[in-house]
Homo-oligomer: A and B are copies of this chain.
Amino acid sequence: MGRPRRPLLSRDRIVATALALVDAESLEAVSTRRLAAELGVSGPALYNHFAGKDAIIDAVVDTVLGEVDITGFAGVGADGTPWQDALRQWARSYREVLAGHPHIVPALATGPGRRPHALRMADAVFGALVDAGWPRAQATRVGVLMRYFVTGSALGSFAGGFPDDAAVYAGTYPHLDRAHLLADAQREIDESAFEAGLEALMAGLTVRYAAVVAERGGEPGADGGPDPAPGRPGGAATGQKS
């Protein structure tokens, strides 16, 4: 057929179609051939726009992360928005976005790499925590542990995974006598568990923050705990990954 007058493909069109496929079916459903067919094009044509399938998935992941609302962090240094409020808003948005694209979550395991939205998010989280008064090393930890919680909450539904066959539990698992009802309540359980965990984390971190800031006040420049990378001044330096 030869080269068309106008390109049939573009990175954006490929990524959008791939995301639609991931959402509609699964990560495994995205094959270069299927994706190409969906785009009305032959398989290898994709390689003119991306280095390979992994690069396409990487771009899809970053597109999804771009949907996360990080505007709350801007107010932390500026108008004195409490860091807790910013963190809460971000965590809820982050979870909501991942819940909207649940099949993409395992792809977060590969790391942030050079994805611009992932780095933008890390920068915002870490920057706001430092602005709020968290020592750098602690700010890193807080960003990381928040990410643990949010990504874990998006990695498949908890409640939805229980068989709704009561016979599975009878006799063998004495406390799971009503577990066959869990699948029905899936959404409510997943969400209320997330909210409960978020509040617990905020309460716990607020206590820690008070201690750290008080300690630091008496000893200016201290980092509030063991440095993550002893020997390097200031410790490690960031807040978040993907």
Q: Does A204 contact B (CB under 8 A)?
A: yes
Question: Which of A159-206 touch B at CB < 8 Å?
Answer: 159-163, 168-169, 172-179, 181-182, 184-185, 188-190, 192-194, 196-197, 199-205
Q: Does A55 contact B (CB under 8 A)?
A: no
Tell whether, in the assembled complex, residue B152 and residue A147 are in contact, meaning their CB atoms are under 8 Å apart. yes
**Interface residue ranges, A against B (CB under 8 Å):** 105-106, 108-114, 116, 119-120, 122-124, 126-127, 130, 138, 140-142, 144-153, 155-163, 168-169, 172-179, 181-182, 184-185, 188-190, 192-194, 196-197, 199-205, 207-208, 226, 228-229, 232, 234-242
Chain B positions within 8 Å of A153 at CB level: 145, 148, 152
Instruction: Give this chain's copy count.
Output: 2
Tell whether, in the assembled complex, residue A176 and residue B122 are in contact, meaning their CB atoms are under 8 Å apart. yes
Q: Nearest CB to that of A180 among chain B residues?
A: B237
Chain B positions within 8 Å of A163 at CB level: 113-114
A177 to B106, CA, bound (A): 28
Q: Min CB distance, A177 to chain B, in Å?
A: 6
